[in-house]
Structure 1
Amino acid sequence: IMSEEAVVTVRLVRSFEHRNFRSVVFHGVCLEQKVEDFIRSTNIILSFFCSWFVDTMKIIHQAHGAKTNELVMSLDDDETLILGSDLTLKAAGVANETEVAFFKKEDYGLFKANPKTTW
């Protein structure tokens, strides 16, 4: 059985308040892997770019779908868009050309409670 592979863009969010993020494109991502495994391997790869570890992914954009006006990511629909770590990427809604935000859940909670941005 061939496993489904996809191109997934990961938006590494360093700061919601300062709108500081970096996008990294991953090719050949197996959609049958668990979200927690993708998070673990992505953290290892991104550790070459940054020294902090992140623990949560949320779908920002699907191919051929509408984009949000938010500069970093939408604060809405967490129940359906935050990827459950025990699901496969495919079951969590990730498909080819999906863009996901990758961030610290604690930082997101603090920002969501007081969503002010600074420059």
Structure 2
Amino acid sequence: MSDLLTSEAKPKTSATLTVRIIKSFTYRTEKSLVLHDVNLLTTTVGQLKERSRQAVQTQPGWKPYKNVQLDTLKLYTKAHGAKTSNLIINLDHDDWILNDDEKTLEELGFENETEVSFFHLADYTAFKQNPETSWDC
């Protein structure tokens, strides 16, 4: 039995990331995209966005998400880290928005099993101003 954490189980050149593709904040519509063999040392935020968009456009099961304008990534949680009570995104920590497309994931502290949310920034901003879901009505 190993005391190795799952975040340390894989090298930074072959990490597994979960990208939470958000279609609607109000209806809590999201689908998780699991990306394997991501090189955290060389992959930039811009490349992660493009890889995620490409997967949504080409992989089966993503038809309802193909017209979503995905433009913003935000850290959701790292492996073994605290999770938010919101089921699809952190509404606090706007400093976790990844707005520099040139930074590598390793520079931003990504590890194996890091989760990020991918969404349309205008939808996020509107939801933050009125964070009611369809379940609250």
Please report the TM-score for the alignment, with normalisation by the length of structure 1: 0.90
Aligned Cα RMSD in Å? 1.6
**Corresponding residue for 2:6?**
none
C-alpha distance in 2 between matches for 1:11 and 1:41: 13
CA contact (8 A) 2:12 2:111 kept: no
Say if 1:65 and 1:51 are closer, same or farther in 2 by CA, change over 3 A. same
Say if 1:116 and 1:98 are closer, same or farther in 2 by CA, change over 3 A. same
**Corresponding residue for 2:101?**
85
Instruction: Identify unmatched segments of 5+ residues in structure 1.
Output: none
Of 31, 36, 40, the residue aligned with 2:46 is: 36
C-alpha distance in 2 between matches for 1:60 and 1:30: 19
Greater radius of gyration (CA): 2
Say if 1:74 and 1:3 are closer, same or farther in 2 by CA, change over 3 A. closer
**Corresponding residue for 2:5?**
none
Give the match's secondary structure for 2:76: strand
Of 82, 87, 91, the residue aligned with 1:66 is: 82
Deviations 1:68-115 (A, max 9, x none): 111111111111x11132211111222110011010111111111111
Please report the TM-score for the alignment, with normalisation by the length of structure 2: 0.79
CA contact (8 A) 1:6 1:28 kept: yes
Taking only the aligned residue pairs, the percentage that are identical comes to: 39
**Corresponding residue for 1:116?**
132
**What letter matches 2:50 in structure 1?**
R
Structure that is richer in helix per residue: 2
